[in-house]
Structure 1
């Protein structure tokens, strides 16, 4: 049973309530989260660089509250920032040896907004090199391990953030999602992730400024935590030409008996592991038993595979245009995407954009009949952490290193809000996630449906979190945490 005497394990909303009510200080919450870092990070390698100013940031929140001020809606919440997102004065490596000592001069817009909302930045969370990959590892910090079974992958590319959330190291985790990076690790680690509409949270600074394929967003232990955080960080910014309309925040409640939801089991046509399929169907049965109307439909988006790969290749070439003379200097995932992008023709890109249009039109038609679409997030359970990617799904060989994440990247094409929420645990005790796709401006609806699913299928915390016999490995000391820009010891082999 969860020990709620540890404030680090509370929902972000409850942490925020207690801080505002004077029942918990920001300093106490930060201390509890740091203790979780010390306890779990040496084995799991989720947080790679600690913020030396975090303790002072927490103290400033407490001082503002004591003086009767309002530090913001996220006052005192502890946030992990993905190591591809710029943080002023705090090392940002992009998971690449080429930038192992890079320290940005300014915050990304999302980090600035988190700070303005009163959040305390714990530090940077691990990612594959430039977020390219569905398993979190890189040559700078090594492997990030799954908190439910450290021998397995945590997913990617926001894997460090998902692990930090699942173990109480942070209240919220910031991340990015091009082809599933906020959803894949949420599924593997048993937390909630939301890919919002691209542009709802500006991705600035960015080498590819007109990027409308990648989204910046959050993960939380509960869907309502993401709603709290998203309200604080969304909205246009003059520096970004890509923006999205404000979500319908009044669409934040779901009546299980009043809605009509669709379920599609294999939108990618790549097959689905029996254990994942069983967990998702158990979730459907629980929803129906609670009064929900869920209709199974045939929906194939496999025709969008080549279109996404073309758009992804174009994305990489646009992002790395200044570095095209050193393609081989990057790791295998980034290099493969760059070569793929460089081989594209204008006709292929034009065709990809038209496929993207067809996918969006298909969803617009679907939402005339249904309020949301449910579909498995991953076709497989977590795989061994040492593998870059799984070579087969349900016995079928994959063509490329990204084919296994087609259930998420196909849903990146239409630019709609997509949440991932735990659907339960499979026969091996591992989390399995359901994606919730909502109509345009439907971030609140996606999170509300996710909350309904979570209420019928709670999965709790990984056993290592609630096992009180677990002791800190001692690799992270309080002095180490205050060492400016220091990286935590990677516990995994490279």
Structure 2
């Protein structure tokens, strides 16, 4: 791979789009550089599971012709984007990471994909996910494991793990994902990128098998907060196809993050779930929060124990998973053990259980709204643990203490899903062993721009450093990182001409 191609893949989405609109770069050369980067990095991290090579080149040529003919180009012109493999893409295989859908090719684009295309983004391919996105370690029986780009022996997180790993290695410049309990934030923290869980309804989720659900949302992921904001502006807006779609516009649209309202007072909460936080994570996150003081923002240390809300989340999650997997209930013996267990939990719920969880959720929302009257944002570590071995389904210990449940370690993110507010995860720094750490930023409803503006203030001033995946990953592992040859062949065959 050429040095020029490496340099192109290191550019931000904002810089790529600007250069292509000006004619300083062509969409085709950016797409070709991206495909070369994928060929170099993807065999190690296995972030992209289905490529869209032919259609991506054709779309790039179309954009270049438009520019040559003097037509104005849209905001994401020529920017390579990865689409999560649970999100419908017309003519491009969408497997949900499940053998039940191994050869599923949608005839339509999901609303969020259609919007990215209209904004000029080039769909490079699909990013890997756990089966039906149920899990925080990106491993599935169709494509295997996605590996952490900073150490491929470790997990990239999930469930948008493929998107996060592809961003960190420069294989894409933007990623689309979903977030139920942290699926945009957890992998962003593990891979050293930015992920945003938007205010529910801001980005339309359509089609949606659970159309009135506000627990799972679509959202963007990128290498910088500015790029995440650029993607959000393309994704957001009302849609008659989405039941929970907002009727209003995105607050702050068109303004760069540095012109969004400046924070005056924020609260730093070390641990919202009470399970403990890895000491390296705790140190880096508090230091990152403290950097806001240099810009005149007051940072207040606050204790907030939300452990009592964990059962409410687990109940509502069970309800959502049953709704989403209803068409496959009669085939659930073919699903992985995580999904089967989640389905059994969801099917055992009573109406009283669900009603009680909804009441707890409503009370939590009011409690946090009152807190956000006093603070511009609430900051907390994104994860409780550092990236763990990819062959493990989940970590067994948090800060040296054994977990009581396999899902304890993601309580830091799923508790912040409950109130329905925007939450961003931004890189807070790197540990001594070179692993990234993420800091979460929650703001009030519809204050997505403020969350990203705060994230931008926390980011380091230096240019983003691409991960260079280590070579020499063992050829045999409990979950192979290699895409099975027959599936790679199918990937190419199912790319549009």
Provide the rounded CA distance (Å) in 2 between the counterparts of 1:459 and 1:7. Answer: 13
Partner of 1:21: 22
2:39 equivalent to 1:32: no
2:379 equivalent to 1:370: no
Change (3 A) 1:255 1:415: closer
Deviation string 1:326-364 (CA, Å, 9 cap, x unpaired) is 322211121111111111111111110011111111111
Change (3 A) 1:279 1:311: same
2:298 equivalent to 1:298: no
Alignment check: 8 A CA contact 2:289 2:379 kept: no
Give the CA deviation at 1:459: 6.6
2:278 equivalent to 1:273: yes
Give the CA deviation at 1:396: 2.4
Alignment check: 8 A CA contact 2:260 2:453 kept: no
Provide the rounded CA distance (Å) in 2 between the counterparts of 1:483 and 1:215. Answer: 30
1:417 to 418, 422, 438: 422
Provide the rounded CA distance (Å) in 2 between the counterparts of 1:255 and 1:307. Answer: 34
Partner of 1:468: none
2:400 equivalent to 1:395: yes
Residues 197-216 of structure 1: pairs in structure 2 closer than 5 A:
197-216=199-218
Partner of 1:66: 68
Q: Secondary structure at the match of 1:455?
A: coil
Unpaired segments ≥5 residues, structure 1: 466-472, 488-494
Provide the rounded CA distance (Å) in 2 between the counterparts of 1:20 and 1:198. Answer: 32
Deviation string 1:245-287 (CA, Å, 9 cap, x unpaired) is 4332168437998611110000011100111111112213333
Alignment check: 8 A CA contact 2:260 2:449 kept: no
Q: Secondary structure at the match of 2:226?
A: helix
Residues 181-200 of structure 1: pairs in structure 2 closer than 5 A:
181-200=183-202
Provide the rounded CA distance (Å) in 2 between the counterparts of 1:272 and 1:211. Answer: 30
Partner of 1:42: 43
Q: Secondary structure at the match of 1:193?
A: strand
Partner of 1:81: 83
Alignment check: 8 A CA contact 2:55 2:495 kept: no
Change (3 A) 1:3 1:186: farther
1:286 to 286, 291, 309: 291
Relative to the length of structure 1, the TM-score reads 0.92
Change (3 A) 1:75 1:255: closer
Provide the rounded CA distance (Å) in 1 between the counterparts of 2:176 and 2:200. Answer: 15
Q: Secondary structure at the match of 2:124?
A: strand
Change (3 A) 1:298 1:3: farther
Provide the rounded CA distance (Å) in 2 between the counterparts of 1:54 and 1:431. Answer: 31
Give the CA deviation at 1:208: 1.5
Give the CA deviation at 1:461: 2.8
Partner of 1:54: 56
Provide the rounded CA distance (Å) in 2 between the counterparts of 1:374 and 1:307. Answer: 22
Change (3 A) 1:101 1:481: closer
1:485 to 479, 484, 494: 494
Partner of 2:249: 246
Q: Secondary structure at the match of 2:303?
A: coil
Aligned length: 478
Q: Secondary structure at the match of 1:416?
A: coil
Relative to the length of structure 2, the TM-score reads 0.91
Deviation string 1:17-63 (CA, Å, 9 cap, x unpaired) is 11111111111111111111011000110011101311101111111
Deviation string 1:224-257 (CA, Å, 9 cap, x unpaired) is 1111111111112112111234332168437998
Deviation string 1:444-472 (CA, Å, 9 cap, x unpaired) is 0000000000036877332449xxxxxxx
Partner of 1:492: none
Alignment check: 8 A CA contact 1:148 1:462 kept: yes
Over the aligned positions, Cα root-mean-square deviation in angstroms equals 2.5
Partner of 2:131: 129
Provide the rounded CA distance (Å) in 2 between the counterparts of 1:22 and 1:257. Answer: 34
Partner of 2:445: 440
Provide the rounded CA distance (Å) in 1 between the counterparts of 2:127 and 2:283. Answer: 32
Change (3 A) 1:18 1:257: closer
Provide the rounded CA distance (Å) in 1 between the counterparts of 2:58 and 2:328. Answer: 38
1:155 to 157, 161, 165: 157
Provide the rounded CA distance (Å) in 2 between the counterparts of 1:16 and 1:375. Answer: 33
Q: Secondary structure at the match of 1:124?
A: strand
Provide the rounded CA distance (Å) in 1 between the counterparts of 2:466 and 2:135. Answer: 25
Partner of 1:338: 343
2:357 equivalent to 1:355: no
Alignment check: 8 A CA contact 1:164 1:170 kept: yes
1:103 to 77, 102, 105: 105
Provide the rounded CA distance (Å) in 1 between the counterparts of 2:307 and 2:161. Answer: 26
Deviation string 1:300-337 (CA, Å, 9 cap, x unpaired) is 11111000000000001111223322322211121111
Alignment check: 8 A CA contact 1:417 1:442 kept: yes
